[in-house]
Amino acid sequence: MKKMITAITAAALLTAAPISAYADAPDPTTYIPTIYFKALPESPVLTLPSGMPYVNTKAAADDTYTIPAHVYLKDECKRVGQFTFKWLWTDDNVYLNNIQTPIEAGTSAPYTGYDTNGVKNDTAVSISKFYSEKDKMIGIDYSNISVKPLETTGEASDSFPVALFDVNVKNTASPDYYDFSFKTEQPYVSNIAYRVTDIALRDIRPNGDNALPLTIAVTDRALGDVNDDGIVDGKDATAVLTDYALSSANKEGKLTKAQLIAADVNGNVIVDGNDATKILSYYAFTSASNEGSFIDYLNGKLKK
């Protein structure tokens, strides 16, 4: 793996006056770009109100569910020079593959000047990708030999993804929340060469809130159907409220992991009274001879 930034002292990195891409941009000498994922679930996988994909492993006949996902780089200063991002999975039952560049996928490219024909010049951007099933790691690298920042094609730096990939969930996966995290520690740390000026660089390694994981909820029952009887009703709401009351009293709840994930209907990884209220409201809605799926009700697609 090629290193994006050679040994340069911190003092040398910031010798020239910083340049912002536009007047209201943050200070590029302190600003940290954000890297993030966006999942694009397709039926039968659901999208919860939080944006989290929800997989019911018994919802379809296929033995593997594929969830398309994108990687984005948000840079309000538009001073990114080049970057390498790596992200990980941990379980063979919920794994990543099919890494693609925007050009390979036929989507809009986030930056101009791609070296698509093997011809390099002083503004060419070369893209390479990385995949290791052994290390459970996948990644993308944008290299730019120019001293200028990458030039965005969209109005915002994250108008278009920098990479596309698939999340695959086998129907043998155990009920759980599965996280796919950016590599933020050595070796192979995700990093950005940030062009504070045309001659000065910062080596930025996004982490924490600047490199949030992608989380997938996996269980063996329909959303909201906590007792798995095929109906979302008052019994499910009662089960959620009972478990929430126990946890509020610092007592051990009685719901299994599969039930807790089905109960987390808003997808915030917390099961509480809000979830019970949403389940009960939907039950009242359908009891009044209204029709529609629970997920459409949660996402405001049905008239309440």
Name, in order, each residue with C-beta under 8 angstroms of 288's C-beta and a sequence gap of 6 or more.
none
Residue 115 has which token pair? 């070296």
pTM for the model: 0.88
The DSSP letter of residue 173 is P
At position 294, the amino acid (one-letter code) is F
| Whole-number pLDDT of residue 144 | 86
Tens-level pLDDT at each residue, the chain (304 residues):
433 333 333 333 444 444 544 557 799 999 999 999 999 999 999 999 999 999 999 997 789 999 999 999 999 999 999 999 999 999 999 999 999 999 999 999 899 887 655 555 556 788 999 999 999 999 999 998 788 899 999 999 999 999 999 999 999 999 999 999 999 999 999 999 999 987 899 999 999 999 999 999 999 999 999 999 999 999 999 999 999 999 999 999 999 999 999 999 999 999 999 999 999 999 999 999 889 999 999 999 997 6
- In terms of Cα–Cα distance, which of 55, 56, 50 is closest to 67? 55
What does each C-alpha distance from 300 to 18, 46, 292, 304 come to in angstroms? Answer: 45, 14, 11, 8
- Alpha-carbon distance of 50 to 294, in angstroms, equals 15
Which one, of 86, 88, 39, lies nearest residue 217 by Cα?
A: 39
pLDDT at 304: 63
Q: Which residues contact 213 (CB under 8 A, 6 or more apart)?
A: 37, 179, 180, 181, 182
Please tell me the predicted confidence (pLDDT) of residue 2: 38
| Other beta carbons within 10 Å of 162 | 24
In Å, how far from its chain's centre is CA 33? Answer: 15
SS3 content of the chain, % helix, strand, coil (to 5): 15, 30, 55
- For position 275, what pLDDT does the model report? 98
Q: What is the pLDDT of residue 7?
A: 35
In the chain, the domains with their CATH numbers are 10-219 (2.60.40.680), 234-298 (no CATH)
Selection from 182, 188, 189, 186 nearest residue 208 by Cα: 182
With a CB cutoff of 8 Å and minimum separation 6, the contacts of 13 are: 196, 200, 201, 202, 203
Does residue 238 contact residue 255 with C-beta atoms inside 8 Å?
A: no
The Cα 267–Cα 89 span in angstroms is 20
